[in-house]
Amino acid sequence: MWYNIYGVKKRDRAAKNVRGTNFMPLVVPQEVIIKKYALSEAGKHIGRYGKNCLIIAGGHFYASEDWDFLKATLSLRGIAFDAEEYIGGEPVVDYVDGLAAEYKSKRGAPLVDCVIGIGGGSVLDAAKAVSGMLTNGGGVESYIDAKGKTVMTNAPLPFIAVPTTAGTGAEATKNAVLKHVGKKYKRSFRDERLMAKCVIIDASLYAGTPKEVTAYSGMDSLAQLIEAFTSKRATKETEEFCRQGLRHIQYLAAAYSEGDNILAREETALAAYKSGVAISNGGVGAVHALASPIGAHTGLPHGLICGILLPHVMEVNKEHALPKYAEIGRILTGDNGDDRHMADSAVAAVRSLAETLKIPATFRNERLVGLAPQIVGECIDGGSMRSNPHDFDAGFWAKFMTGVCI
């Protein structure tokens, strides 16, 4: 089933008018397919973007029946493909450069005409970055967020995203987060043209996802929805995506406890997708600002870091965006009350969910205390921190870090 960016069926497009407000266009994937077992008929969608594909996926996918279904549908449509097994972990600069070089001719032309990423956020970001580097020269490090970065000259190859974990929303973002192992940083390769041409959300691919992955991915989605909703850059359009996503994310506990619950899996997948659209167009805040350097220095999973930070950041932010935190509380709890009470309820609901998902309350890592000034220094002037509802200074965040580390 084809949906437009607001989750409304295409035939209902003329009726699209939420709360009487005409929405402005957002940067979103060109096509979104939401259907159980959609992968078995993916060839008809992928064929619109190329006849010679590079597929990047994890080894577990290639060992599954899903891979057999995909091969069959591609062959049926006469689509040739090369299958690359993702190395695991967060995508690193050297991996992207190496794979891009492998699939270029001696003259620098791409040897494939589209890139398909199948997996979690790391796989999708790696595939997204490779799609950009296959049509552009130099190394990817020169394009990532930093002073003096190079602008991507040529449009990337079409990127098709098939997410299998409901977390980062990378299928709906216009950037790829890459890690430099030697220099110990994580930065974004960012360009609106990196947005996926096609997203295939197949709830059957999420069934059986390990509990830990479900928990960490889901908390990342929740953090993105809350931060995009309260961001200084939020718009009516991104706010509506966040409201929808917050309703979907209420199935997270069920997806965690009942791994084969297809309804819960699809709902959390939609939450992840809508969180990706929201942050791509409205930004994030302090949770993600801090999470990036913490992850670079510790190697902890991104979703775990977000899950630990989120209720603490909400607690310090809530006074500075009280009506929005109150609305979050009403959505998550179904209760009503004055703004202050409901904002408190929002924080309590997130703490309770984190406890259910076995997310620790703090990092319990004294080494991070010593790194706090450096971590804050690496993100205090970044776009994510600037989008936070309130401009706390570096001293505040260093003290904050001490509190969440021990």
Average pLDDT over residues 204-215: 94
Domain match, 228 and 183 both: no
The residue segments making up the domain with residue 242 are 211-405
Domain match, 320 and 367 both: yes
Question: Residues with Cβ < 8 Å from 227, sequence gap 6 or more?
Answer: 279, 283, 284, 285, 286, 287, 288, 387
Q: What are the tens digits of pLDDT across the range 46-77?
A: 999 999 999 999 999 999 999 999 999 999 99
End position of a domain, from candidates 179, 205, 231: 205
Q: What is the pLDDT of residue 182?
A: 85
Number of domains in the chain: 2
Whether residue 372 contacts residue 401, with contact meaning beta carbons closer than 8 Å, is answered with yes
Domain match, 223 and 188 both: no
Is residue 242 scored above 90 in pLDDT? Answer: yes
Q: What is the pLDDT of residue 381?
A: 94
Is residue 21 scored above 90 in pLDDT? Answer: no
Is residue 220 scored above 50 in pLDDT? Answer: yes
Q: What is the pLDDT of residue 146?
A: 67
Q: What are the tens digits of pLDDT across the range 339-349?
A: 999 999 999 99
Domain match, 56 and 126 both: yes
Is residue 6 scored above 80 in pLDDT? Answer: no
Domain match, 78 and 138 both: yes
Domain match, 239 and 382 both: yes
Q: What is the pLDDT of residue 332?
A: 98
Start-to-end C-alpha separation, the chain: 48
Domain match, 222 and 199 both: no
Domain match, 384 and 310 both: yes
Q: What is the pLDDT of residue 145?
A: 78
Q: What are the tens digits of pLDDT across the range 144-201?
A: 976 667 889 999 999 999 999 998 999 999 999 998 888 888 889 999 999 999 999 9
End position of a domain, from candidates 158, 188, 205: 205
Domain match, 7 and 36 both: yes
CATH code, 314 = 1.20.1090.10
More confident: 11 or 4: 4
CATH code, 147 = 3.40.50.1970
Provide the mean pLDDT of the chain.
92
Q: What is the pLDDT of residue 148?
A: 64
Domain match, 391 and 251 both: yes
CA distance linking residue 309 with residue 351, whole number of Å? 10
Q: What are the tens digits of pLDDT across the range 330-368?
A: 999 999 999 999 999 999 999 999 999 999 999 999 889
Does the pTM exceed 0.85?
yes
End position of a domain, from candidates 205, 228, 259: 205
Is residue 20 scored above 50 in pLDDT? Answer: no
Is residue 10 scored above 80 in pLDDT? Answer: no
Percent of the chain with pLDDT over 90: 86
Average pLDDT over residues 250-263: 96
More confident: 256 or 299: 256
Domain match, 175 and 232 both: no
Domain match, 9 and 145 both: yes
